[in-house]
Amino acid sequence: MAKHRGKGIAAIEYPTGMNQNGDPSQCWIKVKPDGRIDVFAGTADIGNGSKTIQAQIVAETIGVPYDWITYDNSNTDSSPVCTGTFASRATFVAGKAAEKAALQVKAKILEIAGKELEIDPADLEIIDGEVVAKGAPQTRMSISDVAAAATWGHGELITGTGAQLKPYAAIVDPETGRVDSPPHSAISYAACAAEVEVDDETGEVRVLRLQQCYDVGRAINPTQVEGQIEGGAMMGLGLGVLENCYPYYPSVEHRGGAFGSYLAPGMEEMPQIDTILIENPSQDGPYGAKGIGEMANNPQPPAIAAAVYDAIGVWITELPITPERVLRALEEKAAGKHEPRREGKKVVFDEELSVNTVSSGGIRFEVPA
Amino acid sequence: MNIVVNGTAHAIESGPLTPLLDVLREELEITGPKAGCHQGGCGACTVLVDGEPRRSCLLPVAYADGAEITTVEGLGTPESLAPIQQAFVHHYAAQCGFCTSGMLLAAQAYLDGGGTDDPEAIQEALGGHVCRCTGYAKIVDAVAAAARGESFDLTQTAVGKYTTVTTGGAT
Amino acid sequence: MATASLAGTAATEVLRPTSEAEAVEAFGDGDGVLVVGGGTIVVPDLTYRRLRPAKALLLKDAGLSGIENEGGRVTIGAATPLAALVDLPAPIGPCAANIGDREIRGVATVGGNLCAGEGYEAPRGDLQGPFLAVGATVRSAGAGGIEEEPLESFLERRRSRLALSISFQTPAAGAFAALDRPHTHDYTALAVSGARGADGTIRLAATGVGWWGVRLPSAEAAADDPEAAGRAALEDVDPQDDALASAWYRRKVLPVLVRTVLTELEGVA
Amino acid sequence: MKVVGARIPRYDGVAHVTGRTTYVDDVRVPGMLWAKALRSPHHHAAITKLDTRPAAELPGVHAVITWEDVPLLEYGHLSALGIPADEPLLAKDDVRYKGQPIALVAAESEELAAEAVERIEIEFEERPALLDVRQAFDPEAPKIHQWGNWYPHFEGGMDRRQIRKGDVAKAFEQADVIVQGVYRPAAIEHAPLETQVCLVVPEPNGRLTIYSCTQALYFSLGVVAAHLQVPLNKLKIVGGTTGGGFGGKVDTATETMTSLLAMKAGRPVKWRWTREEEFLCSSTRAPWHMEIADAVTKDGWILGRKMLTLHDSGAYARFSPYGLTKHSFHHTGAYTIPNLEFDGYVVFTNRVPTTAMRGFGVTSVSFAVETHMSRIADVLDLDPYEIRLRNANRIGDTSPNGIVYTDPSTVPTIQAIAEATGHELSAEFRTMTNEPRTGEWLPEHLVAQLGNPEEH
């Protein structure tokens, strides 16, 4: 007849980009006669903020104010290939393509400016939308003037393209799973501590607090990173204690067909969420960025499961940790049936769930003693 | 039947049982309110009906006959954003944006009713709205900031309330 | 004109009475008539084509809204929105406050809630529980004219009646307990209401343990001992599985909520 | 640097808050028709009769399509990777999940389309359903898929994804304790606020403009072109603004069928799923069944791991083989375990096909591995932070499939959380780093797995 609090921890890792690569993203950029910059890419913005991120990368790389950039991902006629917004790749892969395209644009701007100023482009740099001679800042030319000169004087289009692709890493050994080249070019890491309160009579679990640390490589836009992490945390909370398409899995009965019967997390379930970002740069991502969009819902469920154990002394390893599962586990514990089987040096949990119990003559999980 | 939407009067041809949402979106082509579920479960279609927040997918248009409707288009324009719209931009309270118009109108009704920056009161007022992207934290922050009457810098977003950034490598 | 509505309502005759008398007449014997209170339950059913009524009776302008209190006898019009109930004493106020969110409560009506669709996959009539607990009577129209009867018997035939109002004597004390899950999104899995009348009689009722709200007579009989009453309540219910909770779980938690309500009632002078 | 690292507002933020962002459902074109689908009411059944004429004859109906209208009926989600296809765009001989599309109608209104669907005459012969992945291998299990009950097309004709590393038998022999557990995360609905939707407009030049909510414009372009057997320049996908996805909108669930309707009707057609369809008929995150046995020393080193994974793919393969492979590559989590034996199966069941969702393939294994880690700490009475730090990935360690880690952050992220929560670590764990292993952090069992991070 009480509410119990508990704490748990989990640490996770997650790859960036498609698991075995082979997933190109491309970008092309053109510069208008007044120096304003049009970026074309095929990356869908599903809310993750890739329009903003790629525009930031281009502005930074060329050296112009952010509001000089227009970004167009609207259709497959004008935009080059992007495999898609999944696999946490929109910043890491597609953002890299944008960086590469921007570097080409920058080189072209410096080349035209070099002709105009009669200075070796290698001795020029771009600062705040102006081409400036290194060491002689009084010698300068605005990018607007460079673009005008290219358009009306040199008869040139300042443009750039970029493509990012790691070739497909084929599995060469189906026995061992070894691949012929590295399949993931950056791995992101996170740790999460959860604090929960469990009502031992109704079985209700409330998540009170999530403290999380993510290695994001480089936060191109810290607010958007927080947005991914906070949104992921609530989705992870849903995975941990609320959501289930098949409430009687493996049965398909009683599926919820409405928000009233499928428990997506609501505002009132929001715990306190603390976010710590670590920037341990990746070798391959734009400005050292890694992708953290997907992993943001991975560490909460195990942290919550450990916190529930800490609170009431039962392991619930089927998700979500519903009030019913809590009460059933507590009932088993009271009946002395929740303890693992110990045999020699083996400690065996969850035997009732194992294929060894449920399959008849089909598949077994053999563990050497 | 007649309704006034964002100050403009419209004679309605749809049948009286047609949900207000479908009248707005399909007959009047006012597409700010979103059809997230047509079940009353998500709040993406919320509009103000005579100042009260209502799920437009649940309301037969006959029940809005003669009413003044405010949709997100009537809150403010891109050139002149309402404070709650500014708050959502500054606090990064919209990601995919599909829940945003309903969320904004629920928030506006909360503010119009004298709502404070108390997070629990905000959660109670907006709690029926589903957002799958943000995890709600920045939405609550935005509404609270608007309730405090803050002014908002639209050139940058707010620093997360509970965030620490450790730059410069891990080891 | 474009239409996105799935609803097959073009063929539906829409009736918009402007008084109780007109509403009663329009309803007739109720055959083929869909009553639209606030619309929060039936409009999605129209949209999803689960309802294709010959006639729809819109109650909004029928004057059936309002709350009167005459010496502790409270009468609530069937078209009164739930938002108007949240400040009523327990168990009614807390239950009303627990339904939907501000936007739903602003339009959903008492009558609609009492006549909510049956069953475990449908939104339940949450208010059936507290109104049973306070011994409410319902005034309704239909075949045979206007009649007033206890809520228990009304519930059995509510699909063929037009609820006009519901009345009850304000209890000396009341209490309400529901599962503390995210209620703004999910339907109530289980709730218990209790009331103590002026004469000390305790009445208990539950929603989420049957096809509609039910009295808990066995628990009432054991009300002196909250623990025993909780166990006894199981004799009064026949819960089933649904998307939110299993019958097993409902049986497990019903005694807890009954005990909680009775304990709270004891604490209220 | 001024722009990178800055807290710039969303590029489309003002459009979002003023309701000006145009999602697919907001696009208006004249003459548009509405689509509705006839879906399977059964989990598993043979289709014994299908007659769409009563629907086609209804005034206001402009097109009806079935499997016969699809130029290339089967094109797999992973066909681009050379993996064979198993799923017909529209059901042909049988249905294998409740909600599977069988026929579509395009009509003047959504209501009329729904009415036409109800007129389609169809008969089924129900078949037994397979729902429990653990019983899919049983001799008496119903056979539900042309390839057998589990996916048989991994490299080398393997019927499972295997990882083999080091010497597992020796690890289990040397272990002080073997901890074994079972982990079963649930199927999850993506539930983006925008349901699946697309609008296809036939253009006068013979092209199709496809307004799509896809998360992957070019991926969907390829899928539609393959089914329609047309070159890429016949199609223009318009999108890039999606009302939430979370993985579910990589499926290209509506684009091809709507294109077929638009071509047949010669009119623009919109297909917008109801929320109920989204919940009951759209693909989900997979439920997984995972069994782990770890060989552990009493001070908390994990010497070896045996693991069995059954990935509930639902009725067809979709992305599941990819997801299982990713799962296998990450089945040690944020830790270095030198001796591994992993077997994973993609198992078919009569439920809606499962697909990618946020964390695809790894959300499941993160839950299993991390809960298992907490259990091991509890069984051995060790600090749950410290056992993780002890086994943490370090620079130069190798992954299950032999990749050398170059920038792992298990150590600093856990240390940061310990500090934030006030969890006291003993000195050796407080001061350790992710630098390559030496001394006490390089016990004998971890020597052979080391790789050279410079060669990565």
Instruction: Give me the percent of chain A exceeding a pLDDT of 90.
Output: 91
ipTM for the whole complex: 0.97
**C-beta of residue A240 within 8 angstroms of C-beta of residue A320:** yes
- Stated pTM of the model: 0.97
Kindly state whether residues C189 and C104 are assigned to the same domain: yes
Question: Do A3-15+185-338 and A25-164 share a fold?
Answer: yes
Number of domains in chain C: 2
Contact C4 D110 (CB under 8 A): yes
B158 min Cα distance to partner chain A (Å): 7
The partner residue sitting opposite D18, judged by closest CB among B85, B99, B133, is B85
Per-residue pLDDT of C30-51, as tens digits, reads 999 999 999 999 999 999 999 9
Burial status of residue A333 (CB atoms within 10 A of its CB: 0-12, 13-18, 19 or more): middle
Domains of chain D with CATH codes: 31-126+190-274 (3.90.1170.50), 157-188+284-455 (3.30.365.10)
Range A276-282 average pLDDT: 93
Q: Per DSSP, what are the bridge partners of residue A142?
A: A130
Residue C28 lies in a domain: yes
Chain A environment of D154 (Cβ under 8 Å): 174
Least reliable range by pLDDT among A23-27, A279-283, A298-302, D420-424:
A279-283
Touching A: B residues 81-100, CB under 8 Å: 92, 95-97
Which of these three, C22, C41, C58, is where a domain ends? C58
Confidence of residue B166 (pLDDT cuts 50, 70, 90): confident
Decide if B41 and C1 are in contact by the 8 Å CB cutoff. Answer: no
| pLDDT 10s digits, A344-362 | 999 999 999 999 999 999 9
Share of chain C above pLDDT 90, in %: 84
> How many Cβ contacts (< 8 angstroms) between chains C and D?
22
- Is residue A74 within 8 A of residue A29, CB to CB? The reply is no
C88 and C54 housed in the same domain: no
**What is the pLDDT, as a whole number, of residue D385?**
98
The per-residue pLDDT of chain D, averaged, comes to 96
What whole-number distance in Å separates Cα of residue D107 and Cα of residue A179?
51
Pair (C23, C113) in one structural domain? no
**Whether pLDDT at B169 is above 60:** no
Count CA within 13 A, CB hemisphere, residue A107. Answer: 9
User: Using 50, 70 and 90 to split pLDDT, how confident is the model at D456?
Assistant: low
My answer on whether C202 and C72 are in the same domain is: yes
Predicted confidence band of residue C182 (pLDDT cuts 50, 70, 90): low
Residue C262, H or E segment: helix C247-267
Q: Which chains touch C (3 or more CB pairs under 8 A)?
A: A, B, D
Residues of D in contact with C45 (CB under 8 A): none
Q: Answer yes or no: A268 catalytic.
A: no
Instruction: Report the residue of D14, D17, D25, D199 to disrupt the B interface, i.e. the one with the largest count of B CBs within 10 Å.
Output: D17
Interface contact flag, D114 C3, Cβ < 8 Å: no
CATH architecture of structural domain A3-15+185-338: 2-Layer Sandwich (3.30)
Nearest to A193 by CA among A348, A2, A9: A9
C29 with C104, same domain?
no
Residues C252 and C127 in one domain: yes
pLDDT higher than threshold 70 for residue D250: yes
* Averaged pLDDT, D339-350: 98
D354/chain B closest Cα distance in angstroms: 19
> Could you read off the pLDDT of A214-239 as tens digits, one per residue?
999 999 999 999 999 999 999 999 99
Of D84, D78, D75, D79, nearest to D153 by C-alpha is: D84
Mean pLDDT along residues D40-47: 98
Q: Residue A272: which H helix or E strand, with range? A: strand A272-278
Min Cα separation B155/chain C (Å):
34
CB contact under 8 A, B97 and D12: yes
Residue C8 has pLDDT above 70, yes or no: no
C246 touches chain A (CB under 8 A): yes
**CB contact at 8 A, D104 and D257:** yes
Neighbours of chain A (3+ CB pairs under 8 A): B, C, D
Best of D3, D4, D16 to substitute, by most chain B Cβ atoms within 10 angstroms, is: D16
Interface contact flag, B127 A267, Cβ < 8 Å: yes
Whether residues C112 and C237 share a domain: the answer is: yes
CA distance C108 to B137: 29
Query: Would an 8 Å CB–CB cutoff place C186 in contact with chain A?
Result: yes
Q: Which pLDDT score is estimated for B167?
A: 65
C193 is a domain residue: yes
Domain that holds residue C46: 13-58
Q: What is the pLDDT of residue D80?
A: 77
Give which of D353, D338, D335 is closest to D252, Cα–Cα. D353
**E strands, A21-122, in order:** 25-31, 37-41, 69-72
For A57-103, how does the pLDDT look when each residue is reduced to its tens digit (9 = 90+)?
999 999 999 999 999 999 999 999 999 999 999 999 999 999 999 99
Residue A3 pairs with which residues in a beta bridge? A199
Chains that touch D (3 or more CB pairs under 8 A): A, B, C
Residues C24 and C118 in one domain: no
**Average of per-residue pLDDT across A272-292:** 93
- CB pair distance less than 8 Å for C48 and D34: no
Please, which pLDDT band fits residue D291 given cuts at 50, 70 and 90? very high
Q: Do A268 and B123 touch (CB under 8 A)?
A: yes
The shortest C-alpha distance from C4 to chain D (Å) reads 6
Interface residues from chain D to B (CB-CB < 8 Å): 6-10, 12-23, 25-26, 28, 190-195, 242-246, 272, 274-276, 409, 411-412, 416, 433-435
Please name the residues in contact with C5: beta carbons below 8 A apart, sequence gap of 6 or more.
B14, B18, B19, B22, B26, C47, D110, D111
Q: What is the CATH number of the domain that holds C48?
A: 3.30.43
Domain closes at, from C24, C40, C58? C58
Q: What percent of chain A has pLDDT over 70?
A: 99
pLDDT, position B168: 52
- At what angle are helices C226-233 and C247-267 packed, to 10 degrees? 150
Domain ranges of chain A: 3-15+185-338, 25-164
Q: Where does the pLDDT of residue D46 fall: very low under 50, low under 70, confident under 90, or very high at 90 and above?
A: very high
A226, A253, A294, A324: the active-site residue? A294
**Nearest neighbour of D115 by CB, restricted to C3, C8, C48:** C8
DSSP-derived 3-state class of residue A357 = helix
Q: Tell me if B58 and C60 make a contact (CB, 8 A cut-off).
A: no
CA dist C81 and C38 (Å) reads 8
The domain that holds C98 is classified in CATH as: 3.30.465.10
Give residues with Cβ within 8 angstroms of C84, minimum separation 6.
C65, C67, C76
Tell me: do C47 and C143 sit in the same domain: no
Residue B171: per-residue pLDDT = 38
Per-residue pLDDT at A185 exceeds 60: yes
Confidence label for C1 from pLDDT (cuts 50, 70 and 90): very low
* pLDDT average, residue stretch D201-222: 97
Sign of dihedral through CA atoms B78, A44, A287, A68? negative
Kindly give the pairing relationship between strand B2-5 and strand B8-11: antiparallel
Over residues C108-155, the pLDDT tens digits come to: 999 999 998 777 666 779 999 999 999 999 999 999 999 999 999 999
Pairing mode, strands D101-107 and D61-65: antiparallel
Instruction: Report the chain B residue with the minimal C-alpha distance to residue C16.
Output: B62
Does C123 share its domain with C238? yes
Q: Tell me how close the Cα of A29 comes to any Cα of chain D, in angstroms.
A: 17
Please state which of the ranges B119-128, C186-195, D50-59 shows the lowest mean pLDDT: C186-195
For A72-93, b where at least 16 C-beta lie within 10 A, e where not — what string?
ebbbbeebbbbbbbbbbbbbbb
Closest D-chain CA to C46: D111
Q: Do C52 and C77 sit in the same domain of this protein?
A: no
Nearest residue on chain C to A249, alpha-carbon basis? C243
The pLDDT of B98-124, averaged and rounded, is 97
Q: Which domains does chain B have, with CATH numbers?
A: 2-75 (3.10.20.30), 83-147 (1.10.150.120)
Query: pLDDT at position C5, please?
Result: 58
Taking Cα atoms as reference points, which of A247, C49, A257 lies closest to residue D195? A257
Q: How far apart are CA A270 and CA A234, in angstroms?
A: 7
pLDDT above 70 covers what percent of chain D? 99
Q: If pLDDT is split at 50, 70 and 90, which confidence band does D198 have?
A: very high
pLDDT score, position D135: 98
Q: Tell me, what amino acid is at A49?
A: G
Give the pLDDT mean for B42-57.
98
Which chain B residue shows the shortest CA-CA distance from C57? B17
State whether residue C121 sits within 8 Å of chain A by CB: yes
pLDDT of residue B170: 40
Residues of chain A positioned with their CB less than 8 A from the CB of B38 = none
One domain, residues C80 and C137? yes
Contacts of C66 (CB under 8 A, 6+ apart): C76, C77, C80
**Is residue B52 within 8 angstroms of chain C, CB to CB?**
yes
8 Å CB contact between D251 and A87: no
CA-nearest residue to D34 within chain C is C4
The stretch A274-280 carries a mean pLDDT of 94
Q: Confirm or reject contact between B152 and chain D (CB < 8 A).
A: no
Q: Which residue has the higher pLDDT, B147 or A87?
A: B147
Give the lowest-confidence range in A100-104, B167-171, C225-229, D411-415.
B167-171
- Domain covering A25-164 in this structure, CATH number: 3.30.365.10
